[in-house]
Structures are given as C-alpha cells and as structure tokens.
Amino acid sequence: MSEPETMQRRDYEAKLVARAWADEGFRERLKADPHAAVAEETGITVPESIQIEVLEETPDKAYLVIPANRVTVSDEQLDVAGGDYIDGFCTCD
C-alpha cells in the first residue's frame, strides 16, 4: 500500500472553493470567519496572526494573487507559529 499523496496549498484552496461553490452557508462563513471555515473544512488551524482575506470574483471583477516569495521568508518567520507548514498553511493547533 502506498503513502497518500501530500496535499499542497493549492489542493486545500481547491477544496475550500469547491465547498463554497456547493454550499452557500459555508461560503458566507468563509467570508465572515475564514479561520474557522478553513479549520472546519481542512482541519488546519491557521494562526490568528496570519490574516486571511476572502475575495469573491464577479463576472466583471477578477483577482490576481501574487504569492509570498518563499525564498525570501526566513526560517524564523516560518517558525513563529511553532507548527509544520504545508506550502503556506500551518498545520498546528
């Protein structure tokens, strides 16, 4: 039996978007309290010190996200929350 493939940040984001598309109540919770909604859907606790901004595109408005350059993030910055990071998400409680 093989190890399950490790999920990447884009996989978690896709899971969140799919749930938001399918469940209007979840979409509203995600916009109102993203930390709680992310934890609910993924089991990942994102530290409150990390802001999550949820933006919903419309037919006449799109967003382009420029991710943080992980090369310039120091080990000390990554260790702030004291957990493991999966491509930008902390898996700590």
Question: What DSSP character marks residue 90?
Answer: E
pTM of the model: 0.68
CA distance 91 to 71: 20
Q: How many domains does the chain have?
A: 1
Amino acid at site 88: G
Closest to 34 in 3D by CA, of 20, 54, 18: 54
pLDDT of residue 17: 97
61 in a structural domain: yes
Residue 14 belongs to a domain:
yes
Task: Give residue-wise pLDDT tens across range 17-56.
Answer: 999 999 999 999 999 999 999 999 999 999 999 999 999 9
* CA atoms of 2 and 16, how far apart (whole Å): 26
Residue 15 covered by a domain: yes
Place of tokens 């916009």: 31
- pLDDT for 63: 95
Has residue 64 been placed in a domain?
Answer: yes
